[in-house]
A and B are shown apart, each in its own frame.
Chain A
Amino acid sequence: MKTNKHTKQVALLGIMGALALALSFLESLIPALPGLPPGAKPGLSNIVTMFLASSSGIADAFFITVLKAVFAGITRGATAMLMSASGGLLSTAAACILLRSKKSNIGYIGIGIICAVCHNIGQLISACLISGTPSLIFGYGPLLLIFAVATGFVTGTVLKTVIPALNRILNRL
């Protein structure tokens, strides 16, 4: 039986949306570790948007990013929604450019790190704007950047193993 292309996309977005929301809920359960900036998360749900950016389409990746922000808004309030949106949109934009470019020779770990840094920069800028305190960049920035290297390393490694496997399933549908 041949599946309709539209049906395939709806099913894919449904699965990926559920996965992204489940992962971001899972991350919110991680307690604040001493020495790490509060609210710093491993960014597991970014793996979903990065996979979509590389294998499905730019529109799909941004759709899930907005869905994540709305979910954060419903469950954790308006500030969380703004933080999720500002970080998510910037990081998804970076993922789309880097993962779809044929010329760039940045590997998955480098892409993971750049996306994590973009996510932090977006959140830090909106935190500065909300609180009206630009010095937050110096207070939180250094730790967030070091943390971004660690999480980017993880997301990049996961992507490298997951993308070929998921692509095989996608092509069989």
Chain B
Amino acid sequence: MKKLFGRTDLIIIISVLALSLLLFIPSLFGNNSLVAQIIVDGEVTEEIDLDKIEKSYTLSPKDGTVIAVEKGRIRFSDACCKDELCVASGWLSAKGQTAACLPERVVIAVKGTDKTDMMTY
């Protein structure tokens, strides 16, 4: 019979948490200017500078998904699928945040304008 918790388990917990921290590092660097990329079928179709939005609006890159854009933030506001996980992701307002609509293959990725950080890390 295996035990419930031992030293190996503690090492596993620490290494998983360390890995999550490591994956998080690239999102911390770069300047504060926010650019949202809208990626349809794996290709960037639109780049929106979120800091320069004056009036909020919505767009629909593909039938069945509606994206709402406001100053400094962006979100999926409506989806055609049943679970609407992309809508549940809520507003994206920080660098490194993503929301994905898998059924329609539409992704919103928020990036900083500084492109070198991913290369350095």
Residue of A nearest to B81 (CB): A77
**Known pairs A109-B9, A145-B17, A149-B16; A135 contacts B98 (CB<8 A):** yes
Least CB separation from B100: chain A residue? A131
How far, in whole Å, are A80 and B84 apart by their CA atoms in the complex?
12
Chain B window 17-53, contacts with chain A (Cβ cutoff 8 Å), 1 for yes, 0 for no: 1011101101100000000000101110000000000
Q: How far is the CA of A78 from the CA of B102 in the complex (A)?
A: 10
Assembly CA distance A131 to B19 (angstroms): 23
* B residues less than 8 Å from A148 (CB atoms): 16
Least Cβ–Cβ distance between B29 and chain A, in angstroms: 12
A-chain residues with CB within 8 Å of residue B59 when the two chains form the complex: none
Check A133–B12 contact: CB distance below 8 A: no
Mark contacts of A5-17 with chain B using CB atoms, 8 A cut-off: 1 yes-contact digit, 0 otherwise.
0000000000000
- Whether A108 sits at the interface, judged by CB under 8 Å, is yes
CB neighbors of A among B42-92 (8 A): 42-43, 81-83, 85-86, 88-90
Asked whether B27 lies within 8 Å of A130 as measured between CB atoms, the reply is no
B37 CB to closest chain A CB, in angstroms? Answer: 9
B86 touches A79 (CB 8 A): no
Which of under 10, 10 to 19, 20 to 34, or 35 or more describes the interface residues of B?
35 or more
Q: Could you tell me the distance between the alpha carbons of A66 and B109 in the complex, rounded to whole angstroms?
A: 32
| Chain A min CB distance to B5 (Å) | 5
Cβ-defined contact, A110 with B83, below 8 A: no
Bound form: Cα–Cα A110–B3 in Å: 10
Partner of B86, one of A38, A108, A142: A38
1/0 per residue, CB under 8 A from B, across A130-143: the answer is: 11110111111111
Partner of B4, one of A107, A140, A143: A107
**CA separation between A156 and B13, bound complex, in Å?**
13
Q: Quick one: which of B6, B43, B100 has the most chain A CB within 10 A?
A: B100
A113-B9, A130-B105, A132-B42 are known contacts; what are 13 more A-B pairs with Cβ within 8 Å?
A31-B88, A32-B89, A99-B2, A106-B2, A106-B6, A108-B4, A110-B8, A111-B2, A113-B13, A139-B27, A139-B96, A142-B24, A146-B20
- By a beta-carbon cutoff of 8 Å, the part of chain A in contact with chain B is 28, 31-32, 34, 38-39, 76-80, 83, 99, 105-111, 113-114, 117, 127, 130-133, 135-143, 145-146, 148-149, 156-157, 160, 164
